[in-house]
């Protein structure tokens, strides 16, 4: 089960035809096309199914040569997209290749983003030998000469894209496949509280159910209030997965002999740096008065008095440590508020709405700076005194699984 669709970023100067390229690939008028440079402002995303590639998200970015104060902000937003894409298209036109493109290429290399270089509008001006030579002085990427106005060039572009899509983009990663076997009974505990969406389950719960079915498991789903009723049936589950907010109550009822973890910890392993989380979590005990703690939420949602990241975790942290702490919250993948080394601890949500690459790029600056990182589920397990129990089910599998990732 791939955790998120392939993200493809389209970068280049103004008026090179980035929006037209998206329209060509999708076969729809998705992005606004104009002869006036600078039409695209914020990055525009479009979900699309690409033949022989699968579900993908195309990201149309603002021109990297935009002018003025607003232009600089547009460029910054476009550059931030590089950290979130699986592969990229660098679009040029009119044989323009210079410092703008070289800087993009350097960023692609730094972020290890595979890319191709496409020269657009060859119906007006074909790519020149001198342009190819200039490109090859800085890049070994494939170069194609095409036009978004030529329907036949759509297949050429898609074929070129297929050659740069990372192999890891098609790996089928399982949440629990290496923890269970067919016919195992998996017990999922899903509280329905003020944060639960109306009439449906949250994404991690949905994905775990699907993963259990894909692995031919027998899945039982209860609220925490019916957990005792389930246990009275005499059925012994091979694995219990709970919402992290119910960790303590569930741990008290589930026998120690039955493996127990949470949805958030499953996602910490699937998407995050599990070893870094495991190492960083015990640093909770070292927090001091006045330390700054950063809460990273990878999606935006309405908050409530039961909000796990903004209310429950901060309250439990101060109760557990007996210290007065300063909390900051950053939602989505917004820019961080200040220097990463100002924080004493970073707590990341499960990251169900973003890709593994996006989450790792979000956390790597903190890890490189020596700032401890953890995630919601692992932090809550530690605060409730069941950290070892909630993570020991992964001891023999995680190192093997993550060594094959990225």
DSSP code string of 121-134: -TTTSPPPHHHHHH
For the chain, what percent of residues have pLDDT higher than 90?
Answer: 61
Q: Do 143 and 231 fall into the same domain? A: no
Q: In what order do the strands lie in the sheet with 87-93?
A: 44-50, 54-60, 6-12, 87-93, 115-120, 143-145
Residue 301 is predicted with a pLDDT of 53
CA distance 229 to 378: 27
Above 90 in pLDDT, residue 181?
A: yes
Q: Do 48 and 87 fall into the same domain? A: yes
Residue 69 is predicted with a pLDDT of 66
Q: Take residue 338 and report the two structure tokens written for it.
A: 């200040």
Q: Do 20 and 130 fall into the same domain? A: yes
Between helices 313-321 and 376-383, what is the axis angle to 10°?
A: 40
Above 90 in pLDDT, residue 168?
A: no
Q: Do 154 and 216 fall into the same domain? A: no
Q: In the 8-state DSSP scheme, what is residue 93?
A: E
CB atoms within 10 A of CB 220: 16
Whether 231 maps to a domain, the answer reads yes
* Cβ neighbours for 293, distance < 8 A, ≥ 6 positions apart: 287, 314, 317, 325, 326, 327, 328, 343, 344, 345, 346, 347
Q: Take residue 266 and report the two structure tokens written for it.
A: 């499953």
Q: In the 8-state DSSP scheme, what is residue 253?
A: H
pTM: 0.71
pLDDT in tens, 324-340: 999 999 887 667 766 89
pLDDT band for 271, please (50, 70, 90 cuts). Answer: confident
Residue 63 is predicted with a pLDDT of 87
Q: Do 166 and 197 fall into the same domain? A: no
Above 50 in pLDDT, residue 402?
A: no
CA distance 146 to 25: 13
Residue 191 is predicted with a pLDDT of 87
- More confidently predicted of 200 and 254: 254
- More confidently predicted of 236 and 44: 236
CA dihedral of residues 124, 125, 126, 127 (deg, nearest 10): -140
Q: Which domain holds residue 213?
A: 185-266
Q: Do 71 and 131 fall into the same domain? A: yes
pLDDT in tens, 364-396: 899 999 999 999 999 999 999 999 999 999 986
pLDDT in tens, 46-85: 888 887 788 889 999 888 887 666 666 767 777 788 888 8
Q: How confident is the model over 93-113, as a mean pLDDT?
A: 93
pLDDT band for 91, please (50, 70, 90 cuts). Answer: very high
- 52, 46, 55: which is closest to 3 by C-alpha? 55
CB atoms within 10 A of CB 368: 10
CATH number at residue 244: 3.40.50.11420
CA distance 90 to 18: 9
| Phi-psi sector, 97: left (phi>0), alpha (psi -120 to 50), beta | beta
DSSP class per residue in 377-399: HHHHHHHTT-HHHHHGGGTTTHH
CA distance 57 to 55: 7
Q: Do 286 and 230 fall into the same domain? A: no
Burial of 289 (0-12, 13-18, 19+ CB in 10 A): exposed
CA distance 37 to 50: 28
Whether 393 maps to a domain, the answer reads no
Q: How confident is the model over 315-322, as a mean pLDDT?
A: 96
Q: Are 278 and 272 in contact (CB under 8 A)?
A: no
CATH number at residue 300: 3.40.50.11410
CA distance 322 to 358: 34
pLDDT in tens, 232-254: 999 999 999 999 989 999 999 99
Q: How confident is the model over 145-167, as a mean pLDDT?
A: 92
Residue 303 is predicted with a pLDDT of 54
Pairing of β 143-145 and β 87-93: unpaired
Above 60 in pLDDT, residue 36?
A: no
Q: Do 240 and 277 fall into the same domain? A: no
Whether 161 maps to a domain, the answer reads yes
Residue 375 is predicted with a pLDDT of 94
Please report, for residues 191, 241, 296, the alpha-carbon distance to residue 201 in angstroms, rounded to integers and kept in the order given.
10, 14, 22
- Of 99-108, 296-305, 333-342, where does mean pLDDT reach its minimum? 296-305
Most confident of 34-38, 208-212, 268-272: 208-212
Residue 66 is predicted with a pLDDT of 73
Residue 406 is predicted with a pLDDT of 39
pLDDT band for 41, please (50, 70, 90 cuts). Answer: very low
The average confidence (pLDDT) of the chain is 86
Q: Do 164 and 17 fall into the same domain? A: yes
Q: Do 42 and 162 fall into the same domain? A: yes
End-to-end Cα, the chain, rounded Å: 15
For the chain, what percent of residues have pLDDT higher than 70?
Answer: 86
Q: Are 348 and 373 in contact (CB under 8 A)?
A: yes
* Tally of domains in the chain: 3
Q: Do 156 and 189 fall into the same domain? A: no
Q: Take residue 133 and report the two structure tokens written for it.
A: 């030579």
Q: Do 328 and 358 fall into the same domain? A: yes
């Amino acid at each position: 089960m791939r955790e998120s669709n392939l993200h493809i970023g389209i970068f280049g100067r103004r008026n090179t035809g980035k929006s037209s390229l998206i329209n060509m690939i999708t076969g729809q008028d998705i992005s606004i096309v104009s002869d006036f440079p600078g039409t695209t402002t914020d990055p525009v995303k479009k979900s699309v199914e690409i033949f022989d590639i699968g579900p993908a998200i195309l990201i149309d970015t603002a021109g990297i040569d935009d002018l003025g104060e607003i232009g600089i902000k547009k460029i910054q937003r476009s550059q931030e997209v590089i950290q979130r894409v699986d592969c990229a298209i660098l679009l040029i036109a009119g044989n323009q290749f210079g410092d703008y493109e070289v800087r993009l290429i350097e960023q692609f290399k730094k972020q290890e983003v595979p890319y191709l270089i496409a020269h657009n509008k060859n119906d007006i001006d074909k790519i020149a030998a001198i342009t190819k030579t200039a490109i090859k002085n800085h890049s070994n990427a494939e170069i194609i000469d095409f036009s978004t106005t030529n329907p036949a060039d759509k297949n050429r572009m898609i074929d070129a894209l297929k050659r740069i899509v990372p192999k890891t983009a098609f790996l089928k990663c399982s949440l629990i496949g290496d923890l269970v076997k067919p016919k195992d009974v998996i017990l999922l505990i899903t509280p329905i509280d003020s944060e639960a969406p109306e009439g449906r389950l949250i994404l991690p719960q949905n994905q775990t159910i699907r993963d259990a079915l894909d692995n031919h498991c027998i899945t039982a789903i209860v609220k925490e209030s019916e957990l005792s009723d389930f246990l009275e049936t005499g059925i012994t589950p091979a694995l219990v997965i709970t919402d992290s907010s119910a960790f303590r109550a569930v741990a008290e009822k589930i026998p120690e002999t039955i493996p127990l973890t949470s949805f958030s910890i499953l996602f910490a392993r699937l998407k995050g740096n599990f070893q870094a989380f495991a190492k960083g979590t015990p640093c909770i005990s070292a927090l001091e008065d006045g330390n700054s703690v950063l809460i990273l939420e990878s999606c935006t949602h309405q908050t409530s008095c039961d909000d796990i990241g903004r209310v429950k975790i901060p309250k439990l942290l101060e109760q557990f440590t007996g210290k007065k702490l300063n909390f900051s919250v950053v939602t989505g993948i917004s820019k961080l508020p200040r220097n990463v080394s100002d924080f004493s601890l970073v707590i990341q949500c499960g990251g169900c709405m973003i890709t593994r690459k996006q989450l790792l790029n979000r956390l790597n600056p903190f890890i490189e700076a020596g700032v401890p990182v953890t995630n919601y589920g692992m932090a809550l397990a530690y605060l409730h005194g069941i950290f070892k129990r909630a993570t020991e089910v992964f001891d023999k599998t995680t190192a093997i699984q993550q060594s094959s990732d990225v």
